[in-house]
């Protein structure tokens, strides 16, 4: 695995740990946003591995990850939908106003849980690919 990809995964893990802390202290909107950002950073790792460069936008990361993950059997449908689904949590935190601009605790908690699964899945796939390249 390329060093840059490893750094994206490390950033993803750190951001997810921050999300967990935010949730524990009641910052649910921020926790939901951080869960998405953890996934965003994790998605950049296989994008970088495949393209030699990360994407510059959230939309670009979502579409490029979807393209790369489309036929990857190790990534289940829930994980394929993680980025677009949790982007909505980021949007609530960053752009929404008023009484409906909240992220319920359960939704933030679920995003953090799925974010952990997302990161672990990507890390395992990239590690397996690196092992395959070394032995192949």
**Which residues, in sequence order, are CB contacts of 39 under 8 Å at separation 6+?**
12, 82, 83, 86, 115, 118, 119
Give the orientation angle of helix 82-95 with respect to helix 105-135, to 10 degrees.
Answer: 140
Q: pLDDT above 90 covers what percent of the chain?
A: 75
Mean pLDDT of 5-13: 97
Which pTM does this prediction carry? Answer: 0.93
Look over the chain and give the mean of its residue pLDDT values, rounded to a whole number: 93
CATH fold for domain 3-135: 1.20.120
Is residue 128 scored above 80 in pLDDT? yes
pLDDT tens track for 58-71: 999 999 999 999 98
């Amino acid at each position: 695995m390329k060093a840059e990809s490893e750094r994206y995964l490390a950033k993803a893990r750190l951001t997810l740990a921050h999300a967990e802390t935010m949730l524990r202290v009641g910052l649910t909107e921020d926790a939901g946003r951080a869960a998405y950002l953890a996934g965003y950073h994790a998605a950049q790792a296989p994008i970088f591995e495949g393209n030699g460069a990360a994407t510059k936008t959230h939309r670009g990361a979502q579409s490029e990850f979807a393209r790369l993950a489309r036929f990857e059997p190790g990534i289940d449908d829930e994980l394929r939908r993680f980025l677009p689904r949790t982007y909505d949590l980021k949007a609530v935190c960053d752009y929404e106003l008023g009484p409906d601009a909240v992220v319920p605790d359960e939704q933030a908690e679920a995003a953090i849980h799925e974010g952990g699964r997302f990161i672990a899945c990507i890390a395992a796939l990239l590690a397996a690919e690196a092992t395959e390249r070394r032995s192949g």
